[in-house]
């Protein structure tokens, strides 16, 4: 079994210095998605979407 979405998200956050505004944006998205959402597959997919957002941000802005 590969890396979970949560593990991938944590890895990216720990390995790179993202601006606070980016991290707050992701936190807000994760919190709003978890409210009333009991579908674990949907939650996992949404977290993967945030992982892709960070990966794309790194590609476009360059990571430290």
Domain extent listing, the chain: 19-61
CA distance 45 to 59: 21
Q: Can you tell me the distance from the alpha carbon of 17 to that of 38, in angstroms, rounded to the nearest whole number?
A: 31
Question: Minimal CA–CA distance to 51: which of 22, 34, 31?
Answer: 22
Q: Confidence band (pLDDT; 50, 70, 90) for 49?
A: very high
The distance from CA 41 to its chain's CA centroid, rounded to whole angstroms, is 15
Arithmetic mean of pLDDT, 46-57:
95
Q: Rounded mean pLDDT of 24-51?
A: 87
| pTM, two decimal places | 0.85
> Both tokens of residue 10?
């944590």
pLDDT digits (tens, 9 = 90+) for 29-39: 988 877 776 78
Average pLDDT over residues 42-51: 92
The rounded distance, in Å, linking the Cα atoms of 34 and 19 is: 23
Please give the pLDDT value at position 18. Answer: 95
Tell the residue number behind the tokens 């360059």, with chain if given.
Answer: 62
């Amino acid at each position: 079994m590969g890396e979970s979405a949560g593990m991938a998200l944590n890895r990216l956050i720990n390995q790179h210095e993202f601006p606070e505004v980016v991290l707050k944006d992701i936190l807000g998205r994760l919190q709003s998605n978890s409210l009333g959402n009991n579908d674990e597959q949907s939650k996992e997919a949404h977290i993967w979407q945030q992982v892709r957002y960070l990966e794309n941000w790194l590609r476009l802005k360059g990571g430290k």
